[in-house]
Amino acid sequence: MESSVFFGLSTIAYILAMIIYIIYLAFKKSQIGITATAVTIIGFISQTLAIILRWKEFADFSQMGFLRSAPLTNLYESLIFFVWCLILGYLVIEFKFKNRSFGAFVTPIAGMALAFIDLSGMSKEIQPLVPALQSNWLLAHVMMSFIAYAAFSLSFSTGLMYLIVKTEKKNEGSYIFWSVTLGIFIAVLIAMGIDLLNFRVMVKPEEFIKSYMFKTSFLNPSPPVKIISWVSMAIIIFVIWRYGAVLKAVITKFNIAPDILDEITYKSIAIGFPIFTLGGLIFGAIWADQAWGVYWSWDPKETWSLITWFFYAFYLHGRMIRGWRGKKVAIVAVLGFVAVIFTYLGVNLLLSGLHSYGEI
């Protein structure tokens, strides 16, 4: 059986689960809720099987042994693993907090991401690895980094939702902050989506990032297209700012208490931070020491990871020692994830260094 069959199955399951979660929120019948959870779990299991199968396919192809063949070496694989972590994180939250309201938010993201990966024609080819990537540390380093990224992305969404729910006035600093952040975020996602659909060539992530990303929009060689893209982004931001109350009403409808949002933001960071420290920074350093003989070389990727680490350390110290709660720390959580995205994509897009050969 091929892995893509199971990926397709999990895509359908997640989209189906989204519909059932919405029905559940409308009627509040517990059987419907259980069905939604069950469908999500089915999707998760088939995605797990798909990842294992792809792993095996890669191991058979590369002949490098199972441990070194983790399917985490290009954008296609890393996005799939990211979705997997996201669903896992959601399921944990559902069981811990006995709250299904997030399901209606998370499953569509997962389903759409998988469908998008499929539609965009992103290269599913299994590619050989350059020698530097052939290490047993690949699995631990990349997998743990991604688990941390997924945890941070959860804290980003709950932090943002917290700000949306907790702000009233349009001229309030935190209101402007969240509407602009969300606007940029959505505009960038749309721009990347257009790039992928437009180029459909995607060989390797670094090639895409270096040569194609934003080339249809913000970095287009033709000035009118460029201007239209930037203006569109401004319009998106304006619309979100103007109609923020609608978003707030939606979230309030979903019956999510701000305190739970604050707590999930904190818990995700409290789990993501140690995993990021160990898997991202320490394992990365050990691997670099083995491959190049330097555990830390102030390479842009390393430096940005450290900056990300500082952001979350700041969040944790602010919360634990100063007792900050609410909007103040939510803003830090949101900014922390901006640093995460820059570490993951921005460094490869704009800067060069050891990781520029396509490490993710």
Query: What residues make contact with another protein under the rule CB under 8 A?
Result: 96, 128, 130-132, 134-135, 270-271, 273-274, 277-278, 282, 285-286, 289-296, 298, 300, 303-304, 306-307, 310-311, 313-314, 317-318, 321-322, 347, 350-353
Name the residue nearer to another protein (CB basis): 195 or 302.
302
Output the smallest distance, CB 194 to another protein, in A.
24
Q: What is the C-alpha to C-alpha distance for residues 108 and 226, in angstroms, rounded to an integer?
A: 30
Question: Taking the complex as a whole, how short is the minimal distance between the CB of residue 25 and another protein, in angstroms?
Answer: 24
Give me the least distance between CB of 245 and another protein, in Å please.
Answer: 32
- Our CB check for another protein shows the closer of 245 and 294 to be 294
**Least distance CB 132 / another protein (angstroms):** 5
Residue 344 CB, nearest approach to another protein (Å): 14
Burial class of residue 222, CB neighbours in 10 A (0-12, 13-18, 19+): exposed
Shorter beta-carbon distance to another protein: residue 116 or 295: 295
Measured from the CB atom, the residue of 51 and 331 that comes closer to another protein is: 331
**What type of residue sits at position 274?**
P
Between residues 186 and 306, which has the closer beta carbon with respect to another protein? 306
